[in-house]
Amino acid sequence: MKVKRIEAHHITVPLIAPYKLSKKYGTVTHAQAVITRVHTDDGLVGIGEANPMPPFTEETWGSVFAAVEHHLGPLLLGTDPRNITACNGLFDSALAGNLLAKGCLDVALWDLLGKSLNAPVHRLLGGALRSEIPLLWPLGSGTPQEDVDRIRAKMDEGYRTFMIKMGALPIDTEIARCEAIVEAFGETIRYNVDANQGWDLAQTLAFMDGTRGLPMDFVEQPLPRTADWGLPEVRARATHPISADEGVQTMADATTLAAAHAVDVFSLKISKNGGITRTWQVAQVAAAFGIRCLMNSMIECGVSQAAALHVGAALPNLWDSGQCYMSTKRLKDDVTDFGSLIHDAVATVPDGPGLGITLDEDRLQKYTDASLVLE
Ligand SMILES: [Mg+2]
C-alpha cells in the first residue's frame, strides 16, 4: 500500500455565538481548520485535521499548507502509510516543530491504518476502556450571573462539567464568579477554570488565595507558557490542582513540567500535540509521573474531535470529569457526521473502521477557502 495523493483544504466555519476568551485571545467568531485527505493506491482514504489559532498556536493555516506542500507531503507520497512511526520520523527529518502540520497527516494515517485493518483507532491504541464519555461545556468570560444562567441552561441539556474561561476580568471578579457558581450549584456540578495564559504570577497567587478551599477541579494555564517556571510556587500555595495546556505541546514540555512538579493535569488536544501518535506519547509521559489528562479541544471540527474521542476512550489516566467533545456543538455547521455520536451531553465511542466518522463532500466544498493537491 502506497500513498498516491494528498489533499489539504482550508475551511472557515462560523460559530453559533461569539466566544470571549482571555485578553490574549480576544473574542473568537469562526473556527479555522485544515482538513486533509490521504489517498492510497488501493483506494483507501484517511482524513485528518489541523486547528491553527494564532496566537495560541505558533502555526497558521498558511504555514500548515506550506509545510504539507513543500516539506511533509512530498516525503509521504509513495510511502506505506501504515508505517506510522516511520512516517513521523520522515516528518521530523524534514522540519522541526510544526506539530499542527505533522498532526493533520498523522491523524489521516491512523484513520487509514484502521480502515486497512477494519478496526477502530481505539483498538489500535490498546482497546477502549469506556464506551461512553460525558461532555464538558466551556463558558466564555462573563459576569457571575451570566455564568449561573448559562450553567443552568446547559444542565437542562445534560451537562454536569463546565470550564470557566478567565483571564479577561479583574481577579476579584474572577473569584466572585467561582463563589457564585459554588453558591448556586454546590457539588451538583464539576467545574474548572482556564485563564488561557491571562495572568502574571502575582495575579495567579491572588486568585489561589481568594479561592482557597472552594471546590474546583483545577486551574488551567494561569501563566504565560514561557512563565510556567512559576507553576511549582503556585501549586505549593494552591488548594486546587493545576493544569497545563498551552505549556504542554511536546514530550519534552511534558517531561519538564512533570519533573518540576508543576502540574497535576495535562490538557491534551490532538492538533496542538501533533496528532494521535504524539498526543498518546505525551499521555504516557503523564502516566509515568502520576499526571492525569483532560481530553481538551481547540475550536475544531469533527475529525480532530473523533481522534480525541478514540484517544480518550483508550487512555488509562483520563481525568474523571466531562471531556471536550462539544466543539462541533459550538459551530453553525460541521464537515463531518461526528455530531451523531453525541446524545444528552454524552459521546458514544465509535466502533467503525479508523476514526469511524465520514467527511461530507458538499459541506467541505461549501466552507473551503483554499485547497492544495499533491500527486
Ligand atoms: Mg485551555
For residue 20, how far is its CA from the centre of ligand 1 (angstroms)?
Answer: 13
Q: Ligand 1 mean position to 52 CA, how many Å?
A: 14
pLDDT tens-place values along the chain, 375 residues long: 999 999 999 999 999 998 887 777 888 899 999 999 999 999 999 999 999 999 899 999 999 999 999 999 999 999 999 999 999 999 999 999 999 999 999 999 999 999 999 999 999 999 999 999 999 999 998 899 999 999 999 999 999 999 999 999 999 999 999 999 999 999 999 999 999 999 999 999 999 999 999 999 999 999 999 999 999 999 999 999 999 999 999 999 999 999 999 999 999 999 999 999 999 999 999 999 999 999 999 999 999 999 999 999 999 999 999 999 999 999 999 999 999 999 999 999 999 999 999 999 999 999 999 999 999
CATH number of 3-118+359-374: 3.30.390.10
The letter for the amino acid at 57 is T
Q: Is 290 left (phi over 0), alpha (psi -120 to 50) or beta?
A: left
Which residues belong to CATH 3.30.390.10 in the chain? 3-118+359-374
**Among 80, 105, 107, 45, CA closest to 358:** 45
Residue whose C-alpha cell is 517556571 = 229
Ranges for all domains in the chain classified under CATH 3.20.20.120: 123-348
The domain 123-348 belongs to what CATH superfamily? Enolase-like C-terminal domain (3.20.20.120)
Beta bridge pairs of residue 45:
39
Enumerate residues 6+ apart whose C-beta is below 8 A from 329.
339, 342
Give 368 Cα–ligand 1 centroid separation in angstroms. 27
**Alpha carbon of 194 to ligand 1 centroid (Å):** 5
Ligand 1 geometric centre to CA of 87 (Å): 29
C-alpha of residue 246 to centroid of ligand 1, in Å? 7
pTM, 2 dp: 0.97
User: Which residue is listed with cell 446547559?
Assistant: 154
Q: How far is the CA of 77 from the centre of ligand 1 (A)?
A: 35
- Calculate how far, in angstroms, residue 299's C-alpha sits from the geometric centre of ligand 1: 11
